[in-house]
Amino acid sequence: MVKKAILIVGHGSRYGYNKAIMELQKSRLEEMGFENVYIGFNETSSPKITEAMSAMAADGVDEVVAIPFFIASGLHMTRDIPPKLGLKDGKKEDCVEIDGHRMKVLFEEPFGRDPLLATLLKEKIDDEMKTGNAAVIVVGHGSRLPYNKEIITLNSARLRDMGYGAVFPAFNEFDEPDLKEVFDGCLAAGYDEILVLPLFISLGDHLKNDIPPKIRLKDGVPEGICEYGGRKVRVVYLPPVGEDPRLTDLFAAKARRHLRGGHMDALVLDMTHGGHLVAERLKDRGWNATCVDVYHLSTPEARSRLADRGIEVSYETPKRHFDAVFMPAHCPDSFIGEAAVDQKYTFSEAVKMLMEDGLPYRIEVTGVKGKTSTCYLVAHILDACGKKVFLHTSRGQGPYAGGHEVTELKSIAPPYIMELPTEGYDVVISEVSLGGSGKADIALITNLVEDYGIAKNSRKASYAKAQILTDKGRNIVKEDEYGIWHSMRPDLPLETYRNVCEAVEKPVLGKPLRIRYEYLGKTEEAVLGGSFLAIQYLLSIDAALKACELMGIPADKVRDALGTFRGVPGRGEVSESGGVWRITERNPGISHLSIDMTMRCLKEMDALDGCLAVVDPVSRRVCDKMHPELIRSVLEKYGVDHVITDGNGGEVDTSGHKIVVTFVKEAWQ
């Protein structure tokens, strides 16, 4: 029988706090039923890591998962500890020989990036926050290396996504912003209470002696009242995270993933947005999967297909333990119900875990507006350059060769990325609603014109869309939104694009439009056709050209391709018959914002006189409904006649109008 063990790896300290917390976590794991739990320290404290490894070898351990009691990576994690575990050449997992005994060693990652840490921090804040006018300062040690700052910034952003409006990262030393400056800024900003949350393992010099004076507290006092500008501000100094019992659950989850006999149990929520695909691939990886149709919209065929694979299908969340839950970013945590779960993953994180590497060149595009247009522009330019292109958007998917041949209607939810072609194409371009694989060669976020609420307003759209950002390739974001995305993923380099594409002449409905743009550092011109609202595509052109720049597409090829581009079918499509101009907008992103953009374009063309707007509120397989009252206010602002239909497909009398604009909220999401 294989003997398995857990080794908790700590830093070590001349104080007793670090060792005491390590021993506390060890005893908690043992109370949870884990056997053969050891501790080892990198320096100062005993037993050393090498001593713990020798003890395990003497005890006949065959497999060990080494769990670092570290918040962030650094030289200890990358340089010092692996050799003491017997690991060489940068390996995280290997069979090693210790004192003549062979054992398999797996070195886990620090826990700072684990989503469960942010949940733990949220619970600590909820336990202490007394007012609605509070600031939270997440404090890191600081380092000359980037790792600690990345983790502090990441968890601060996650807490903001969870609904805390005022969360600020700060550092004790080395990094900026400095804790004292951030604290004084919070005082000046008028908050009634300030919660200081140190992301440290245990007490020590910094927590006992350095930090309290910076937050105007005396050593050993966890709470106090600070007077500032005639106001009394409550200051709460929370304990370090190391002794928190909820951290034991995080360690237990890591251990179960590697040491437990049998299969891992996965709870997959929402079959409407690709949960069945996640469940099937988890099953292929050896997981036991339970798929819950939370919206009760699945077909009998889909349920039978899963059942035939040995995947449990349910309409309600089972009341039992699961090693992990996989769910769309827009699903609220309430969907988990009374199930107990160790780990939470969004569908984007699941795709990153489950999708194979070595695929064709991938471009993924998300954002609030302009996703489909950007995808079509890039596809058209690459096709004109002789690339074999596959295009997947909210209009459908299929090859793009001189135009888009839609062969199949598929959702643009993240799991469907896993079903895109793996061969036969030079480039695969996919529009993604919320998130992405995190593995694209180019990940592009068009814009964040509205950071709307998702998951019953428990988090923001930016939280989900940021998951498209790739650590495998290049990331593109809008220049004036750089700070938003950098704060969420400070560990990733971001390229930016600016909105500089402009019309050289006044646009006229139905006429070609000469535009000016920047490409590869030079000013270029092209002529767009008149069969679509070209003026409405200028923002998307800027985003698409940045992607083409990163791919090294020659400027002349780009110019020629723009001249033959005819827009996205049904998106700002322009036609004329019998003296009446008709403009069609069929789009899952139809909203008061997009309608305002179209009306603004028509106003620029002097094309509002005699205009009728017909709005169809039908929402076929589209999650967010339109808001008629907001749409009416936009159309009234522009002074155009308008009809909002009942969605039953009846004819609308358009007589007496020279221009008819039809908006239909329709596509496959």
Q: From start to end of 298-407, where are the E strands? A: 312-314, 321-327, 340-346, 361-366, 389-393, 396-400
Residue 551: which residues within 8 A CB-CB, separation 6 or more?
382, 442
pLDDT at position 162: 79
pLDDT at position 221: 85
Of residues 14 and 200, more confidence is placed in 200
pLDDT at position 620: 46
Specify the residue for token string 């033959």: 564
Q: Is residue 469 located within the same domain as residue 394?
A: yes
Q: pLDDT digit string (tens) for 365-390?
A: 999 999 999 999 999 999 999 999 99
Q: Is the pLDDT of residue 474 over 50?
A: yes
- Choose among 608, 581, 599, 587: nearest CA to 535: 599
pLDDT at position 532: 94
User: Quick check: is 255 in a domain?
Assistant: no
Indicate the pLDDT class of residue 621, thresholds 50, 70 and 90. very low
pLDDT at position 667: 52
Distance of alpha carbon 32 from alpha carbon 255, whole angstroms = 12
Cα 91 vs. chain centroid, distance in angstroms? 28
User: Quick check: is 250 in a domain?
Assistant: no
| 250 burial level (CB within 10 Å; 0-12, 13-18, 19+) | buried
CATH number, domain with residue 401 = 3.40.1190.10
Strands 4-10 and 37-41: parallel
Specify the residue for token string 């989850």: 253
Q: Is residue 105 located within the same domain as residue 148?
A: no
Q: Is the pLDDT of residue 399 over 50?
A: yes
Reading the block at residue 190, the tokens are 């008028």
Q: Is residue 655 located within the same domain as residue 592?
A: yes
Strands 580-586 and 453-454: unpaired
Q: Is residue 320 located within the same domain as residue 393?
A: no
Distance of alpha carbon 367 from alpha carbon 452, whole angstroms = 12
CATH number, domain with residue 594 = 3.30.750
Query: Considering the chain, what is the average pLDDT of its residues?
Result: 92
Q: Which of 345, 367, 390 is the last residue of a domain?
A: 345
Q: Is residue 282 located within the same domain as residue 307?
A: yes
| 465 DSSP 8-state letter | H
Specify the residue for token string 């200890």: 76
Q: pLDDT digit string (tens) for 514-537?
A: 999 999 999 999 999 999 999 999
Q: What spatial distance separates the first Cα and last Cα of the chain, rounded to whole Å?
A: 49
User: Quick check: is 284 in a domain?
Assistant: yes
Residue 185: which residues within 8 A CB-CB, separation 6 or more?
168
pLDDT at position 617: 67
Q: Is residue 583 located within the same domain as residue 562?
A: no
Q: From start to end of 437-498, where are the E strands? A: 442-445, 453-454, 459-460, 474-478, 495-497
Identify the domain containing residue 615 by its residue range.
Answer: 571-666
CATH number, domain with residue 282 = 3.40.50.720
Distance of alpha carbon 19 from alpha carbon 422, whole angstroms = 50
pLDDT at position 263: 66
Rg (alpha carbons) of the chain, rounded to whole number: 28
* Domain count of the fold of the chain: 5
- pLDDT more than 70, % of the chain: 97
Q: Is residue 223 located within the same domain as residue 309?
A: no
Please give the positions annotated as active site. Answer: 11
Three-class SS of residue 172? Answer: coil
Residue 483: which residues within 8 A CB-CB, separation 6 or more?
none
pLDDT at position 618: 56
Q: Is residue 280 located within the same domain as residue 230?
A: no
Asked if residues 140 and 148 have their Cβ atoms less than 8 Å apart, the reply is: yes
Q: pLDDT digit string (tens) for 27-80?
A: 999 998 899 999 999 999 999 999 999 999 999 999 999 999 999 998 999 999
Q: Is residue 505 located within the same domain as residue 623?
A: no
Distance of alpha carbon 276 from alpha carbon 599, whole angstroms = 40
- What's the sign of the alpha-carbon dihedral 211, 214, 219, 224? negative
Q: What is the mean pLDDT of residues 118-123?
A: 89
Q: Which of 109, 130, 160 is the last residue of a domain?
A: 109
Reading the block at residue 391, the tokens are 């295009």
Q: Is residue 324 located within the same domain as residue 395?
A: no
pLDDT at position 359: 80
Reading the block at residue 306, the tokens are 């899963």
**pTM > 0.75:** no
Q: Is residue 326 located within the same domain as residue 213?
A: no
CATH number, domain with residue 73 = 3.40.50.1400
Count the Cβ atoms, other than its own, within 10 Å of residue 116.
18
User: Quick check: is 18 in a domain?
Assistant: yes
pLDDT at position 384: 97
Element (H, E) at 575: strand 571-577
Q: Is residue 547 located within the same domain as residue 581?
A: no
Distance of alpha carbon 537 from alpha carbon 378, whole angstroms = 12
DSSP for 251-316, please give it. Answer: HHHHHHHHH-SSPPEEEEE-TTTTHHHHHHHHHHTT-EEEEE-TTS---HHHHHHHHHTT-EEESS
